[in-house]
Each structure stands twice: as C-alpha cells, then as structure tokens.
Structure 1
Amino acid sequence: MKRILTLIVVVLCSTLAFSQSKTPKGKLFIIGGGSRPDGMVDRIIKEAGLLQGGYGVILPMSSEDPDSSVWYANQQFIKKGIKTVYGVNFRKGQSYSAAKLDSVRNAKLIYITGGDQVRFMGVVQGTDIGKAIHDAYNKGALVGGTSAGAAVMSKIMITGNELKHPEYSSTFRNIEAENIETKEGLGFIDNAIIDQHFVKRSRYNRLISAIIEYPNVKGIGIDEATAILVSGNTAEVVGDSQVIVFENPKRSKTVKDGKLSAKGIVMNVYLAGETFSLK
C-alpha cells in the first residue's frame, strides 16, 4: 500500500512539473499597424527587459524589402538608446546554421515587421525558424509584430484575400459565406482571430464574417498606433486608439443566397489601459 501511495505521489508530481514546464513564460505585443507612439516603444522595451541587458531581433520576412524594413523598425529603438536590436532575415527553403537559429531562440525581443503575412508564414511554417520563435516565447521572450506581424500571431490567420472577390480592397464590401480566406499562423493565440488597421480601414465586415464562419473564437480588431499586450489569458490595450472585440457566443450561423446571418453577436470597444479576457 505504501509503495502504491508513493507511486501515485511521484506520478502526480511529474504531471504537475510537466504541466508547469509547458506553460509559456513569454508575452505577446500585437500592434495593429501604422505608427508606434513613443509610449508604445517604451512599453515594448520595458516588457522585453532590454534595459537590463540582452538583445532583440527583427524578423522582416513579411516585407518585399527586408533591409529597409529592418532599418525603419529599428529607428525608434535606437532613439531610445537601445542599440542591441538586430535584423535577422531568413529565406524560404534555405537551411540555416544552429548559431543563426539560436540568435532567435535566445532573444529577449522578437519583432515581426509588416508586409504580407502569407509571405512570412511561407518562410517559417513547419521549419526550425518557427520552432525557435516558439522556444524563445516559452522561455520568456516578448514576441511582437505589427500589421502582417500581428495577423500571424493567431492560429487561424486572416490573409486579407476575399475568395469570391479577388480584386484587392482594404475591407470587405459584404458579409458573405465562404468568402474569407484563412491560413495557419504561428498559433500563439488559438481562441481568437487578429485583424489590423481596424478602425482606420473599417474592417468590420471582414471580422464579422470571420466570427460567423469560425464561431468558437473571438475576433480582435486592433486599430493603427494601438496594440494589445497579451500575458496569459489577459490582453491589455496600449496606444492611441481602440481595440474592437467581437464574439459569437450562440455559435449562430445561417446562410441565405450566399449571405451570412447571425444572432446575438457581442461587440466590445476597448481603450488604452483597459483589459479583456481571451478565454
């Protein structure tokens, strides 16, 4: 009997230790695009702990011009006296040294630039690069991104394309079934879809379509010059504008003549300093 009790205790302790080891120690800083106010940059530096040492990396793979993207992203850090943020670029299909991957894995800040989220995921998905980003987050790094770099944070990633209307538009003109295109993102958030430039570009139709088509997740629309700081299951709004959060708690969805209908959709508008739950 004593041996059985000892075995149970060992199993429980091992399970608890395994569970704790799998809990990420990092945070997310998800910016809706546009400018980065000085206070936002200060918050990034603080949350990453860069004033206490260490370094950050800028990943520019979303951009058509990675060098320029790194330069612009780094200017505000340099003006704040942080000279330990470096660009690290990867190209699709190439192999990389362990040292280059470790430069991502051991960073205190990982910052993903704007551009095209599909381009970014085409480089990192299913590779050691993506694993290194997750390893850094699990160890305590701040993983941030703006615009396309915001969209990649969720598991279900909006590409920006309309399946029924492929000609580009900054927002959806209709709320239609089977129109929104999604792909797999980095998956730091698995219970929400992130949209960006939200209020400025009036992307309500797009995100409403998303939460009807994917009713089990929240839709989080982040405006320009605004971000959410995600720690565990709590998101804090940082910046100049608003964050709009849609939910479809009744899992409502009806399709008629190709148009979507839903009842009981909830919308909340949050300002800087306010928080909401990701649960």
Structure 2
Amino acid sequence: MNVRGKLIIIGGAVDKGSFSETDLDQNAANNINFFETGILKRIISESRLKEKSRIEIITTASKIPKIIGPEYVKALAYLNATNVDVLYLDKREMASDPETIKRIKAADVVMFTGGDQLRLTSILGGTAMHDLLLEKYQNEDFIYAGTSAGAAAASNNMIYQGSSSEALLKGEVKITSGLGMIDGVIIDTHFVQRGRIGRLFQAVVGNPKVLGIGLGEDTGLLITNGENMEAIGSGLVILVDGREIKDTNLTQVELGQPISISHLVTHVMSMNDTFNLKTFKMQIKSSQYAEDLGIPTD
C-alpha cells in the first residue's frame, strides 16, 4: 500500500544563531533554530498548507516540556507559521482523551521534540492517539516530524540505551519497539558528535535485514512514499547495511565481550543525496560522475 504521509527525522542539536545551543541535554530550550539550515523551513514547505498548516508540538519525551514547547512555537513563528500549538501529554490516559484526538485529527504536522524516547513510546504506544498517527501517516497528506528522541522512536525497532564507548561489546545496546511509522530501519541520533557508530553496528549485526540510520546533529532525512530518503540539513547521515555481512562472532561470545563483524557496508549521505529503501541504491547529488549518470547538477 502506498504511504501518503511524510516522515522528517532529525538528528538533534543544530547550529542555531539566535536560538542557539550546543548540547540538547544541558540547554534544551534553545535547541530549536532549524531554520538556520532549512530543516524547520523544509517541514513547513512540505506540509499540506505550508505556512498555514496546523502544527502540533508534542513534548512528551522532554523533561522540560513547558520550556521546550514555546521555543518551537517561537521558531516556527519566525518562519511565518503561526497556526501552531503545544500538546502536553505526560500521562497515558491523556493520549486517548477526546480533545487530544480532535487536535491530532486536525493536524497537518505533528512534531515530536527530543528527550527520552522510551518515555515517549511508553506513554503513547498503543493509545488511540498512536493508532490515529499511524492511520494519518498511511492515508493522508500528513507529516510526522521528530528530532532526537522523536526521530529514534519513529521506526518499529528503537534503540533506547547503550554506551557509545562500549557499544561493540555484546549486550551493551538495548532495543525495544518504537512507534512503527516505518519498518525495516533502526535510527540513532546525535550520531557523529557522540560517537555512536558502534551502537548502530551492533543493532544491525543482530538483524542484518534492518538498515541502520545514524543522523548527525543539524541533519535530517525526508522520507516520502515510505521509501525515498533525502538528506537535509548541514551534517551527515550514516547508513549501515548488514545484508552482505559475511561473518560475525555475535552468537559465540559472552555478554560484555567484543563483537567482530566482517564485510559490513556503510554509506555516507550529505545534503540533497538520496537513498531508496526498496532498491538500497544511493544517489550522490554532487557526484563526480554526475554527467555520466545523467544527474541534474543545478
């Protein structure tokens, strides 16, 4: 079945100018100025009614929702999107409240903030709101946007814990179910800056059918038709493809022991590059072979 909605998943902290910050956890209220490199602006331009689209900000993952929510409203207003509100949900019953459902039904964009993805899925998973999000994503011109925790929770499989420095020790990476907006991928965020490549390697070697997506800060992916991915923002997207793994010691070593992997394929995407989840083919927008490949260079 064709997917009518769009996913925009964002790696986290960005270069922010007037809404500036360098670390999401320490200064989350200022982690908003995605318009600096066009990510928030792209969300608006991809939405059904552009600047007039109804946008709901969901702060469930955040420990400081009353601070972070209004900051998103401020940043979006800077881009002339003023039909925006914050939906505060900190208890499961609130996600099935008739007023919540009414607001989600009317939304063209739902944007999930950063924080703790396990908090997000444990509160929203299996609720009437969760069911409605899945239905709207499948059947309507609707955008699910998420940054950091909101991005990590978008897929069926979700990393929720794991030390960056010890990520290639067996058992260090913890995975559970996400919100299930997209299947066949697993997403990690703040990827380059926090050295999380090992986390994604372990997630993929445990199930090589799943494509690992590592989102750098100030970076996102726009996913259309459930399969076409375009890199947006100024940073890098790392893709980890385990389908051609030749060997590993994963099942032979004890918990806490290092994991060996042979022939793990990786791709690195930057702005405007594309990748198809059905064909597993990547296209580099500014390829040195663009003329031979017939790729438009404007």
TM-score (norm 2): 0.79
User: Which residue in the other structure is 1:131 paired with?
Assistant: 131
Distance between the aligned counterparts of 1:196 and 1:105, measured in 2?
A: 28
Q: Is the 8 A contact 1:31 1:150 kept in 2?
A: yes
Confirm or deny: 8 A CA contact 1:245 1:268 kept in the other structure.
yes
Tell me the CA shift for residue 188 of structure 1. Answer: 1.4
Structure 1 unmatched runs, 5+: 1-18, 163-168
The question of 1:177 aligning with 2:178 is answered: no
**Deviations 1:62-102 (CA, angstroms, capped at 9, x unpaired):** 01121112112222211111111111122323254323212
In structure 2, relative to structure 1, the CA distance for the partners of 1:72 and 1:141 (3 Å cut) is same
Q: Cα distance, 1:52 vs. partner?
A: 6.2
Change (3 A) 1:172 1:188: farther
> Hey, what's the Cα distance between the residues in 2 that align with 1:67 and 1:135?
28
Count of matched residue pairs: 250
Q: Which residue of 2 aligns with 1:40?
A: 39
> Which deviations, in whole Å up to 9, do the C-alpha atoms of 1:1-34 show, x marking residues without a partner?
xxxxxxxxxxxxxxxxxx5xxx321000000001
**1:245 maps onto 2:232 in alignment:** no
| Percent identical residues | 30
* 2:167 and 2:173 in contact (8 A); partners too: no
Larger Rg: 1
Q: 1:219 aligns with which of 212, 218, 221?
A: 212
- Match for 2:39: what amino acid? M
SS in structure 2 of the partner of residue 191 of structure 1: strand
1:269 is paired with a residue whose SS is strand
Extract unaligned runs of 5+ from structure 2: 15-33, 279-298
TM-score, scaled to structure 1:
0.85
Kept in 2: contact 1:212–1:260 (CA 8 A): no
- Partner of 1:56 in structure 2? 55
Aligned-residue CA RMSD in angstroms? 1.6
In the alignment, is the contact (CA less than 8 A) between 1:155 and 1:193 conserved in 2?
yes
User: Is the Cα contact below 8 Å between 2:47 and 2:53 reproduced in 1?
Assistant: no
Give CA-to-partner distance per residue, 1:125-145, whole Å, 9 cap, x none: 111111122222121211100
The aligned counterpart of 1:25 is 4
1:79-118 to 2 correspondences below 5 Å: 79-95=78-94, 96-118=96-118
Measured in 2, the distance between the counterparts of 1:193 and 1:84 equals 32
Inter-partner Cα distance in structure 1 for 2:11 and 2:272: 16
